[in-house]
Each structure stands twice: as C-alpha cells, then as structure tokens.
Amino acid sequence: MYTILASEYDDTPVGSSRYCDEVVRVPAPRDGLVAYKDALVEIAARPDVKTIVPTRVEDGYVLSKYYDEFDEHVDVVVQPFEMLHEAHDRIRLFDAAQAAGVPMPRTRLLSDVEEFDTPAIIKARFNVLVGEYVDGYDPSEYDIIKGIHHVQPGDVPDRDEIVREMKHDPIVQEYVPSAGKYMFAALYDHGVPVATFQHRQIRGNSYTGGGGVYRSSVYIPELEAVGRKLLDHMNWHGLACIEYVKDAETGEFKPIELNPRIWQSMPSTVRAGADFPYYYWLQATGQKERVEPRYELGVGSHFLWGELGYLASVVKDESPFVPRPSLPSAVREVASSIISEPRFDIVRLDDPLPFVHFVFHVFFSKPVTPRLLSAAKGAMLRSRKVN
C-alpha cells in the first residue's frame, strides 16, 4: 500500500514516518476551503490513488459536500451531507439520541435558557461553522470554535459576549458528574457496523477534561450497546468517534459529541491492534470482508505533547466542577503512568524519524504545535502503487 500525506507543510514530522510514502503540498484550509478541496480533487484524479481518509474536521466536510467531484475519481466512505449536518449540529444530535432512546445530557440553545438552575456547560453548537449551518460564511470560509464556559446555578453569564466569542448562538449542555470518560469509535457501512473500538480516557489535555492524552483500550458491553444504538438509528455510514461520559449518579453512558472522521487518538487505537485507516481503505476498495475487527484490551498509550498540556493546565485552567490537583501530584501521576506504560503516539522504536523530526523543530526550527505534530494536519490518500 502506498500512502500520501496532503499537507500545507513541507516539513511536518508526520511526513518522516516510514508509513508515509509521499508528501504533497496543498493550500491550508484556513487560506481557502475551496482551494483546499480543489487540491485534494487534483490528487484524487491521479490514476494510482484509490481513496482519501478524512483525518480532520475540514476533510469530513469537504469530502461530503463535494462528494460528486471526488466520486468521479476515488471511492470515499463518508456521510451524505444531511447526515454530516446532523452529526455536526449538537442540537440535532440530541434530538437523534432522544429518538434512538439513548440517554444524553439535556442540550438547549443559549437563547432558549432563561436562567441557570443546574450546573451546565456552554459550548459551540456546531463542530465547524460553515455557510450551510450559520449565516455569514462563503464557501471558502469556516471557523472551528473550541472555547467552553462552565456555569453554576445562579450565575448570570454575559450572553452577548459569549455569542460574539462563539460567532453563533451556542448550546447549553447539562453538566454530567463523571465516573469516567470514554470513546466509542466505529466504521459503518450504510447502517451496518464493520468494526468498533472503545477506550477509557485516563487523562485529558486539561485537568478539566479535553481531548484524551492518556487512554487505555477497553470493551464494555453497555457502551457498545448505546454506541451502536445511536449509529444504527442514524443509519450511519463511514467513520464515527463518539465521546461519552459515564454518569456518576445513574451509571449511564451519555454521548457528548460525535466526530465523523479519524480521531486524534488514532495512534493509540492502532497500538491496540485496531487499524481503522486500513479498515477504511479495505471498505473503500470493496474488500470489507477482509476486516478483522479485533483488538487487545488494556493497552495504554500517551500523547506526550498533550501530557505537557495537562501539566500546564494544572497551573492555568480553572473549573467550578473539577478540583484542581496539586502540580507535584500531577507530575508524579504523569511520570508514574509513563514508566508503567511506556507506549507513545509518536515515539516508536520501529518508526523513530517523526520524533527525531519533532525534536529538531523544538530546538533548531520554528515552534511546533500539536496540530503540526498530528497526522490529522493533512488528508491521507491511500493507493495501490502503480508499477
């Protein structure tokens, strides 16, 4: 198999991987989403390219919206645009969960909430802001809003300021007291699961939560059931990553959001034996019967850059819901887990060059961001090498 990385960077560390055969420079999505799409279509038109794996928010949107343009050249396993919209819109996702009989935190528009009488979280309604979802964006423009606000009963947040920050009417989601955070991931073929995977998030990139930076593979029948029930109801097609919180009071697994693409923690998924990019390629090329959806339980893996973010959050982040750990105890916690489970997303003895490249960036070149480090910084195009 021949793998191409389409990226706006010439020197991304991911391009040094033994699993990356070619890097093709494309415009950054931020510089124009249509130009980015056109560049991907141009690569897709190569006779040796067979599919494109969506590895970031922009990819899922572009592949779905412009599906016909890509379908002329390659087979992609992505959602119809209406289904993508339902996944990106957390209000519609809440409605879908209710219709499926899946417990989900109460979710409302900020404009529909008169007062706060229970703990809640204010965050973006959409995974990505584009013209089809909110006014004011042309086809080349978009925004990804990451900010959140924690609200206690009786609080009176500045609604106008929050709307300006979020650039749309955001949602208010009921705060769920957590007995653990989990991910349920899947690859579906028109409502039928091809492969599924679960992990428990032991630590996020902030002590208040965030994306997982230390996770361990698990299998929980109840989580499998609710994950499949939601995706079955939606007649899902393609990749899905659903973030869950286990309610400390009820024991229910409640979905927080659904991401229709490769997830940030994919390296840890592959570490456990579930190679979803390869599964995706098999499905796209009509070979899904070759997928063997098995993985090893109890495999923990770290995203080292994210672990540093976690320690920084202990100093700078605040939450009315989550007690702040002491910095010494947080350092001991991170160090102890690294010693007991020395597996990492980027540091690998069988593929050392991305980490070497990263160290070079840190000490001798421009600053490195988590986005630059991730394979999600560019679309992955899989092919059979033409002889």
- Name the β-bridge partners of 258: 242
How many C-beta atoms lie closer than 10 Å to residue 206's C-beta? 19
Domain boundaries, the chain: 2-78+373-383, 84-103+177-259+265-302+304-343, 106-175
The rounded distance, in Å, linking the Cα atoms of 112 and 244 is 25
Q: Mean pLDDT for the chain?
A: 90
Q: In this predicted structure, which of 14-18, 273-277, 291-295 has the lowest mean pLDDT?
A: 14-18
Q: Which CATH superfamily is domain 84-103+177-259+265-302+304-343 in?
A: ATP-grasp fold, B domain (3.30.470.20)
Distance from chain centroid for Cα 9: 21
Structural tokens at position 287:
């070979």
What pLDDT, in 10s, does the model give residues 88-128? 999 999 999 999 999 999 999 999 999 999 999 999 999 99
Res 171: pLDDT? 97
- 53 sits in which H/E element: strand 49-53
Q: How confident is the model at residue 379 (pLDDT cuts 50, 70, 90)?
A: low
The rounded distance, in Å, linking the Cα atoms of 188 and 149 is 33
The rounded distance, in Å, linking the Cα atoms of 2 and 63 is 21
What pLDDT, in 10s, does the model give residues 355-377? 787 777 766 665 555 444 443 33
Residue-wise DSSP of 185-245: EEEEETTEEEEEEEEEEEEEEETTEEEEEEEEE---HHHHHHHHHHHHHTT--EEEEEEEE
Res 387: pLDDT? 32
Cβ atoms of residues 285 and 279 within 8 Å: no
What pLDDT, in 10s, does the model give residues 300-313? 999 888 888 889 99
**Angle (CA) 129 7 87, round 5°:** 30
Q: Name the residue with higher pLDDT: 372 or 202.
A: 202
Res 381: pLDDT? 64
Cβ atoms of residues 54 and 44 within 8 Å: no
Q: Report how many helices (DSSP H) and strands (DSSP E) the chain contains, helices first.
A: 13, 14
Share of the chain above pLDDT 70, in %: 93
Res 372: pLDDT? 46
What pLDDT, in 10s, does the model give residues 153-175? 999 999 999 999 999 999 999 99
Inform me whether the pLDDT recorded for 383 exceeds 60: no
The rounded distance, in Å, linking the Cα atoms of 352 and 173 is 42
Inform me whether the pLDDT recorded for 224 exceeds 70: yes
Closest C-alpha among 78, 83, 7 to residue 39? 7
